[in-house]
Structure 1
């Protein structure tokens, strides 16, 4: 599906997506649809609510011409996220009608600049068109091949094209992340994830180093290795580097993604229903790989290094057990109370590595870490634990641009007491209460007072159904927010 900034005659396309606000009732509406809109609104069959669609079909000399009236709601309430959702619905309707060439009439907005409007339209339609059908024999290709955005003011054409170029790279990076999450665990295991990261690095322009078990042992990543040793698949430490600001090499943003390509729960085994989708337990890894792709392809003037400690959490005679006391790269000891709280054990070594060996200035870790975050925030919002309010504000600003919602959770000292062990430095679970907070704070004990954000994407990295521009399966959560955070750092 290709996008173009171009005005066309109606004879050149099959369908027109015509946006209308709730209050539109004749003004600024072209004559070809004005009377129809007035009649529809008078009959309450189309009000212009955000995401509402009404299809008008007209017969020309040689074909049918479709006009999809697309509601955008009230002008003062319009958001980029509302645009994404509305246009994803319009794209689905166009596919249902088997349209091939579509024109999209641009709308005016004093609230949202032309670049943000273009980006939101593109994201809604491209990401809404995504489907993971790699393993389906009889694939059904999308009918929509070309989309033309028309009625762009002459002075805005260059801005619109810049927006298209940027958002094309960003959505491609999100799709890379979605594809990684959607791959089954028998195909995508640590070695294969490392290969995919290398391939994406070559395509998008960032450096990738892969370290195997011997190097991981040499580094002293004991906590990571304890989780990995129950599997016959060898662990991999994936290190990705992008240096776009050579004059400030000491200022480096560090990204750490949870890379459990499969999580059985270990000896604290999950029920079958809980294991089925555990191929998605590397959603954090997919997010940082996708973010590195967009950051490097856009050649942002900033420095970013990402690390993924990838392994499987399985059961065997070698697997670690509840009650074990294990060490870590930082030298701190952990009492293992639950082997299904394994992600945080891999993350603490990855966090320590990225600080000690890659010398990052700030750290963000992303992980499908706790079921508790779903209970607290559902599947629409990412829970955040942080030690730095200013850094969190950067995340909030990036979140507003991406539309990916975040919410800061408290990190009071009382919560930290819950992860203290009587027989080791820490225990890997803090009990039933405040599970997302204590999991985050456990990782926070290893960040050495660096500005740090922990993003629990267990609720947002996977969608159980098609929902707007989020298709069923992996969502690529975090990619766009990380990109905008990195971009804002260099502007």
Structure 2
């Protein structure tokens, strides 16, 4: 997707679709007198015929309008409300993007001053890019090597600014929107890939590719190296698979001082989760390829940080494995020793995400981080609590949690805080180890976070449970690219 922000309006510029935002006035054409005159009163006719009233989100299309070099003239209503919040702006622009896609337009010019007047240039510019990015995304099912050369033309999106003073702000906001779109696209592509393609080794290769293209420092630890570090918990999960586990580290060094404390993102990378010996029911087990969406969101956020050249240090850590039943796989009742030295009784082998995350969190200590956020499709319980709309957030530092919640509100990638208290930690008591890997049937999302809290006592930490938001819901059987927006906004705000 190619984005342009221009100060000069050119009504004779060739485009598949010219979009004009309009307020509901007695004479809507007065807002776009030049366009109305060029088209011999087309906007007047839209209003007098009753086809268009400029209600919020209303759309009306004129095909091949006379006097313009446009395939369609598309009128967009912004409604009568004095002020529009970010959520409403996004809803209006998503409807516009959907209509443009239905028209099969490959280039769009947008004059959105009527919408900007009800919001602001930064919000409209960013949300325009993100909305069109979401509607333009398409997953190509074949593995990358079999796709061949890209044949579809690049989609071109242009927005006009009436005021040159708006230009710098609009361009910056569009760049943020495009970086988030690119990060979401990477996360979606990785999430949508089948498990026999997107393996731990494949994720490692993608990290190295990202490192080469965006000047990231990338390191991949083998099982032998993890064994030497004492990562018995992580390695216990991969024992039932022929695919070797990987610990992937990606570093964006954007701060002026290389030693500035980084913000660390830790993403659960279960490229396929059959549940192990505690095997899952067969229905919908194919969706367990999405159990690496936490890792995918880390890839996407690191990419966005690199594209925006954020002046901070960011470290992405991805513990990656498969969880399959095998003669060597974890068994219920087994006890493993984590990198921290704490022992864990495995009561359910399907609670494996926390087993790989805990060693990755301990590994994060060596960076002396400013903050650590782990992201995981960790519990089905979070879907019961919050549905597919909102991610769950917990942690040991209220400031980090508040910053994450604020980032979610600004990016429209919402999260909601759940409590971590000692009363919940009691559910993890084990007679045979320091703690058990599950806390029983109640408060599953909270006890999972409580488990991780035992490995985060040396830094400021928050946990995002994205099991309900990473795929499914209104997206159907598709990855959504969340939590790339909330993580990217969190990193932007740290600048």
TM-score greater than 0.5 by the shorter chain: yes
Encode CA deviations 1:306-343: one digit per residue, 9 max, x unaligned: 21110000011000011112211111111111111100
User: Residue 120 of structure 2 corresponds to which residue in structure 1?
Assistant: 113
Unaligned runs of 5+ in 2: 37-41
User: Residue 68 of structure 1 corresponds to which residue in structure 2?
Assistant: 74
> How far apart are the structure 2 equivalents of 1:73 and 1:377?
31
User: Residue 487 of structure 1 corresponds to which residue in structure 2?
Assistant: 492
After superposition, the Cα gap between the structure-2 partners of 1:250 and 1:62, relative to the gap in structure 1 and judged at 3 Å, is closer
1:56 aligns with 2:62: yes
After superposition, the Cα gap between the structure-2 partners of 1:267 and 1:23, relative to the gap in structure 1 and judged at 3 Å, is farther
Match of 2:180 among 165, 170, 177: 170
> How far apart are the structure 1 equivalents of 2:487 and 2:257?
22
1:129 aligns with 2:136: yes
> How far apart are the structure 2 equivalents of 1:118 and 1:315?
49
User: Residue 365 of structure 1 corresponds to which residue in structure 2?
Assistant: 374
Residues 226, 320 of structure 1: 8 Å contact kept = yes
SS at match of 1:416: helix
After superposition, the Cα gap between the structure-2 partners of 1:177 and 1:254, relative to the gap in structure 1 and judged at 3 Å, is same
Residues 29, 44 of structure 2: 8 Å contact kept = no
SS at match of 1:191: helix
1:35 aligns with 2:44: yes
User: Residue 102 of structure 1 corresponds to which residue in structure 2?
Assistant: 108
1:78 aligns with 2:84: yes
Deviation at 1:65, TM superposition (A): 4.4
User: Residue 12 of structure 1 corresponds to which residue in structure 2?
Assistant: 14
Deviation at 1:231, TM superposition (A): 0.2
Residues 14, 70 of structure 2: 8 Å contact kept = no
Matches within 5 A, 1:344-355: 344-355=354-365
Greater mean alpha carbon deviation, residues 308-317 or residues 125-134: 125-134
Residues 205, 293 of structure 1: 8 Å contact kept = no
Matches within 5 A, 1:294-443: 294-355=304-365, 357-443=366-452
Greater mean alpha carbon deviation, residues 87-96 or residues 309-318: 87-96
Match of 2:272 among 254, 262, 269: 262
Residues 18, 73 of structure 2: 8 Å contact kept = yes
Greater mean alpha carbon deviation, residues 337-346 or residues 86-95: 86-95
After superposition, the Cα gap between the structure-2 partners of 1:103 and 1:241, relative to the gap in structure 1 and judged at 3 Å, is same
After superposition, the Cα gap between the structure-2 partners of 1:301 and 1:87, relative to the gap in structure 1 and judged at 3 Å, is same
> How far apart are the structure 1 equivalents of 2:149 and 2:468?
29
Residues 175, 308 of structure 2: 8 Å contact kept = no
> How far apart are the structure 2 equivalents of 1:144 and 1:201?
25
How many residue pairs match? The answer is 482
Deviation at 1:20, TM superposition (A): 3.4
Deviation at 1:48, TM superposition (A): 4.3
> How far apart are the structure 2 equivalents of 1:61 and 1:303?
52
Residues 48, 73 of structure 1: 8 Å contact kept = yes
User: Residue 286 of structure 1 corresponds to which residue in structure 2?
Assistant: 296
Unaligned runs of 5+ in 1: none
After superposition, the Cα gap between the structure-2 partners of 1:226 and 1:73, relative to the gap in structure 1 and judged at 3 Å, is farther
Deviation at 1:151, TM superposition (A): 4.0
After superposition, the Cα gap between the structure-2 partners of 1:272 and 1:24, relative to the gap in structure 1 and judged at 3 Å, is farther
Encode CA deviations 1:220-279: one digit per residue, 9 max, x unaligned: 000001111100000001011122224372422111000000000111111122311111
Residues 206, 292 of structure 1: 8 Å contact kept = no
After superposition, the Cα gap between the structure-2 partners of 1:461 and 1:343, relative to the gap in structure 1 and judged at 3 Å, is same
Matches within 5 A, 1:451-470: 451-466=460-475
> How far apart are the structure 1 equivalents of 2:185 and 2:105?
23
Aligned-residue RMSD, C-alpha: 2.6
> How far apart are the structure 1 equivalents of 2:255 and 2:26?
48
Deviation at 1:49, TM superposition (A): 4.9
User: Residue 239 of structure 2 corresponds to which residue in structure 1?
Assistant: 229
Encode CA deviations 1:98-144: one digit per residue, 9 max, x unaligned: 33332111224356331221111011002221010242989997677
**Deviant stretches of 4+, over 4 Å:** 21-25, 45-50, 61-65, 136-144
SS at match of 2:271: strand
Residues 95, 144 of structure 1: 8 Å contact kept = no
Match of 1:87 among 76, 86, 93: 93
